[in-house]
A = this chain, B = another copy of it.
Amino acid sequence: MSLPHAILASLLEKPCSGAELARRFDKSIGHFWQASHQQIYRELGKLDDAGMVESTGRDTGRGRERHYLVLPAGRALLEQWCRSEAAPRPVRDELLVRLRAAAVLGDVNLTAEISRHRELHQRQLEHYQDIQERDFPGTTAGRPAGGTEQDRLQYAVLRAGILFEEAWLAWSAETLDGTVKR
C-alpha cells in the first residue's frame, strides 16, 4: 500500500500533471517502487476524491491536462504513514524459482539465463553509478561529501540500489563459477 504515498511524496517535491508524474516516477521513485501510468491516474483520482490532493481543471475530461497539488491533509497522511512501521518484503525473484525448478527437473541448463541477468544487473549498477556521479559528485563509497540531512537520505536510497546490484553481481559470479565451469 505505498503507491499513494509514493505519489504524494513525489507531488510534494514538485506539483505536476499525471503524465509528468509518470515520467518522473520512471526516473526516481520508480527505481524502487514502479507504477504504470494507469495505476498513477487511478490513484490520483482516489487521492483527489479523498481530498488529499487538489487538481486544477476539474471536469476537464479526457485530453485536457490536469495539474495536481498536495493539500495539507495529504501531507499529514504522508507524514503519518512515514512514521508508521512495516515489515520488509521478503525476496521475490523468478530466477530463483527457475533454479529450484531446474534442480527438480534435472535437465535444464540455466547458465545463459544467469549470465543474461548478470549483464542486466551490471547495466543497472552503471546507471546508478551515473546518477551518483551526477547528483553526488566527489563521493566514491560510504557517505556523501557533506550536504544536508535530505541529501544524506537521498544518497542512502541510491546507495541501497547500488548495494543490491553489487550483491546480484557477486551472486551471479560465484554461481556461474560453481555450477558450470568446473
Residues of A near any B CB (own CB < 8 A): 2, 5-6, 8-9, 12-13, 28-34, 75, 78-79, 81-83, 85-108, 110, 113, 116-117, 120-121, 142-144, 149-150, 152-157, 159-161, 163-164, 166-168, 170-171, 174-175, 177-179
Which residue of B9, B86, B168 is within 8 Å of A95 (Cβ)? Answer: B86
Give this chain's copy count. 2
**Contact of A78 with B100 in the complex, beta carbons under 8 Å:** no
Question: Which of A31, A90, A156 gathers the greatest number of chain B CB atoms within 10 Å?
Answer: A156
Inter-chain contacts of A168 with B (CB < 8 A): 88
Which residue of chain B lies nearest to A170 when distances are taken between CB atoms in the complex? Answer: B163
Determine if A117 and B88 form an interchain contact, defined as CB atoms under 8 angstroms apart.
yes
- Structural contact, B88 and A154, CB atoms closer than 8 A: no
Q: Which residues of B contact A161 (CB under 8 A)?
A: 91
Contact between B97 and A143, CB atoms less than 8 A apart: no
Q: Which B residue sits closest to A79, measured CB to CB?
A: B105
- A-B contacts, 11 of them at CB < 8 A, read A6-B100, A9-B100, A32-B93, A32-B97, A82-B98, A82-B101, A86-B98, A89-B94, A152-B179, A156-B171, A167-B167
- Residues of B within 8 Å of A89, CB to CB, are 92-94
Contact among B8, B97, B142 for A29, CB-based, below 8 A: B97
The reply to whether A108 and B93 contact each other, CB–CB distance below 8 Å, is no
**Chain B: CB-nearest residue to A3:** B97
Q: Which residues of B contact A164 (CB under 8 A)?
A: 91, 164, 167
Say yes or no: B88 contacts A93, CB within 8 Å.
yes
Count chain B CB atoms within 10 A of each CB in A75, A101, A159 and give the residue with the most. A101
Q: How far is the CA of A25 from the CA of B154 in the complex (A)?
A: 36
